[in-house]
Homo-oligomer: A and B are copies of this chain.
Amino acid sequence: MKPLMRNDKATLTAADWEREALELIADCGVQALAIEPLARRMGITKGSFYWHFSGRESLLERALERWEEHDSRNLNKSLGEIDDPRERLVSFFRRVGREKLTHEVYSELCAAAGHPQVEPVLERVAERRMQHLSAAFEELGMAPERARHQARLTYSVYLGFLQLQRQHQTPSLSSGDFEAYIEHVIQTLIPA
């Protein structure tokens, strides 16, 4: 056949498929993850896919595992790096802009809650993150139950922000209005 227009390597690995799958999810959502379109996007045919994976479920499974692990490492890293709990909370909001791919994937996963393979991932991730927040609020002097409520509230704000972002109803991340809003959120949710 033709001299292989694939840009990168000569041969693909399962990890390549998983990464591309995550990019497709970030762009078009979980329901758009289909073998043949993904293969076309990669400039290859599904013959390759079915050598590396048993089927669509299997691909999604492993892609989600990969994403969750990456996200989990991210969380622990930011937890370890910042000592001051208040700064940790602030950075929680400010980090939305960076780590773009990860957040886009998460946003699309949220849109696909209810999917049997996605749901447990979402549960674990939200749980981990809320515990992270809850711990920070406790360090700031809140009673445990109050801290848990505040964590849930704070995380809801984050989720709502992602939703408004999907609807294109959030001020552009580089505008002054955005900064003013973030400041307002911080003032309202994080004790001085």
Q: Which residues of chain A have a CB within 8 Å of any CB of chain B?
A: 29, 31, 110-114, 119, 122-123, 126-127, 145-146, 149-150, 152-153, 155-161, 163-164, 166-169, 180-181, 184-185, 188-189
Contact = CB atoms under 8 A, between A and B. Distances in A.
**Copies in the assembly, this chain:** 2
Q: Tell me which of A29, A114, A127, A150 has the highest count of chain B C-beta atoms within 10 A of its own C-beta.
A: A114
Contacts of A127: 169
A123 B188 CA distance: 25
Q: Tell me which of A29, A111, A163 has the highest count of chain B C-beta atoms within 10 A of its own C-beta.
A: A163
Contacts of A149: 180-181, 184-185
A113 B166 contact: yes
* 6 tightest A-B CB contacts, nearest first: A156-B160, A159-B160, A149-B184, A160-B160, A113-B166, A159-B163
Contact of A164 (B119, B159, B164): B159
5 contacts: A123-B168, A127-B169, A152-B181, A156-B159, A157-B160
B126 A167 contact: yes
Contact of A169 (B114, B123, B185): B123
Contacts of A185: 149, 153
B113 A184 contact: no
B156 A164 contact: yes
Contacts of A169: 123, 126-127
A39 B160 CA distance: 35
B163 A113 contact: yes
Contacts of A123: 167-169
Contacts of A152: 164, 181
Nearest to A118: B167
A96 to B, nearest CB: 12
A168 B126 CA distance: 11
